[in-house]
Amino acid sequence: MESIQRLHWWQHGPALEHLVRDLVAAELTAARPGRVMALPALWSADLDLAADLGADSLDMMGAATSLADLLGFARAGCQDALLARTRLADWIAAARASLAVDDSALTFRTSGSSGAPKRCTHGLAGLWREVDELARLVPGRRRIFSAVPAHHIYGFLFTVLLPQAGGGALPVLELRGASPAALAAQVQPGDLVVAHPDFWGQVAALAPRFAQDVIGVSSGAPCPDATARMLHEGGLRLLQMYGSSETAGVGWRDAAGAPYRLLPYWRRGARENTLERPVSGASECFTLQDRLDWLDGERFVPAGRIDQAVQVGGTNVHPGYVAEVLAQHPGVRECAVRLMRPDEGARLKAFVVPADGYPPMALREELDGWLAERLLPPERPAAVSFGPALPRQPGGKPADWVIDAWE
């Protein structure tokens, strides 16, 4: 299966354009969290990032740096290729020119325990090795629907490389911005739907009936068993992938509550919470962000995160960092941030003790704008409760709170 198309994934124009659009859109949104833009799938190649989207020189520098890092412009001697260029078509052309010189590796970014971006470099050969295994798990696909960004490793594997695994190029259709309610009516036998648990939760809530031979994929966070069971009852085979930006894919399962099974080139590490895989005759060791309970040498069950990050909408967010941002407002004396309880939703919530002289209702209005300017949408608490003191257990430890009891 080592075709020219596979070795040079970026020669398939739609795949490279998809990747560049998604990365640039994400970087411009991160630079100004309140910015409103059209979905990147709707951007034309003639789009001018400055004239059409209002990107200034700092915005452009940040996006250019991220794209150059992802694709390895420096290895190809193209690190300055994006300077003074504002048209999306020029950025795509620069990416293609760099990859033509060196496409041996990609560097994805994720959030570490402090919330600071972490660089995770993967050789292209290793990514293709994983795609070979993924193709065996989802044979016979004809189209791919995507609700995830292509510049994150999960999206790259499933919506950039996997469509080309057979030597051709399967069509990739955009789901972001579409209603989950319409999914079951859109898909046909042979389709693959790549999404995250929040998306699947919205689909499952509608109790849909799927056509035969439709496969879904979920990753980025644990998919609730209730969601997986509801989708199974509707006729969908849901493949759940376990992995991270540091490791890429590690294991899979296709039944709610079942243990994950390691992909064949991984093995349990000699040290606790580690995994190993062979690379060029040696063994590469990875320290995991999760605790794993092992049933045997091939099967495991994740048992909670080590770094305290949580997932919102398929994105790593850090409640501690959000609380730090919230506490910078002069009207906030103390605050706590945590993930909502399952019966409350799937977003972050915050509890705020107002500073003296700040009425809660007035503070609530100020905080909406304050957080919108400083945090990305998945990081913003969807519910803010107020009280005279932070909720605590009788022994003084922080306690959870019920949103309705404090609103």
Please write the tens of the pLDDT for every residue from 249-291.
Answer: 999 999 999 999 999 999 999 888 899 998 777 788 998 888 8
pLDDT digits (tens, 9 = 90+) for 174-188: 999 888 988 999 999
Using the predicted structure, report yes or no on whether residue 112 has a pLDDT greater than 50.
Answer: no
**Residue-level pLDDT at 4:** 39
Structure-model confidence comparison of residues 39 and 309, the more confident one: 39
Using the predicted structure, report yes or no on whether residue 5 has a pLDDT greater than 50.
Answer: no
The distance from CA 40 to its chain's CA centroid, rounded to whole angstroms, is: 16
Nearest residue to 364 (alpha-carbon basis) of 399, 326, 402: 326
- Provide Rg for the chain, Cα atoms: 22
- Other beta carbons within 10 angstroms of residue 59's beta carbon come to 20
Q: What is the mean pLDDT of residues 324-345?
A: 92
User: 110-114, 259-263, 301-305: lowest mean pLDDT where?
Assistant: 110-114
**Residue-level pLDDT at 186:** 94
**Residue-level pLDDT at 307:** 67
- Tell me the two tokens of residue 149: 């960004």
264 DSSP 8-state letter: T
User: 24-28, 165-169, 235-239, 371-375: lowest mean pLDDT where?
Assistant: 165-169
What mean pLDDT value characterizes the chain?
Answer: 90
Distance between CA 251 and CA 219 in Å, rounded?
11
Q: At what angle do helices 88-101 and 57-71 cross, to 10 degrees?
A: 30
- Tell me the two tokens of residue 93: 């052309």
Distance between CA 38 and CA 57 in Å, rounded?
20
**Which residues are 242's β-sheet partners?**
251
Structure-model confidence comparison of residues 368 and 393, the more confident one: 368
Distance between CA 60 and CA 17 in Å, rounded?
17
Distance between CA 156 and CA 331 in Å, rounded?
42
The answer to whether 322 and 124 have CB atoms below 8 angstroms apart is no
User: For residue 21, what pLDDT band results from cuts at 50, 70 and 90?
Assistant: very high
**Residue-level pLDDT at 177:** 86
**Residue-level pLDDT at 405:** 52
**Residue-level pLDDT at 97:** 96
The answer to whether 393 and 331 have CB atoms below 8 angstroms apart is no
158 DSSP 8-state letter: I
pLDDT digits (tens, 9 = 90+) for 196-252: 998 999 999 999 999 999 999 999 888 999 999 999 999 999 999 999 899 999 999
The answer to whether 85 and 97 have CB atoms below 8 angstroms apart is no
- Residue 295 has phi, psi (to 5 degrees) of -90, -35
**Residue-level pLDDT at 404:** 65
Write out the E strands in 91-208.
Answer: 105-111, 117-123, 143-146, 172-174, 191-195
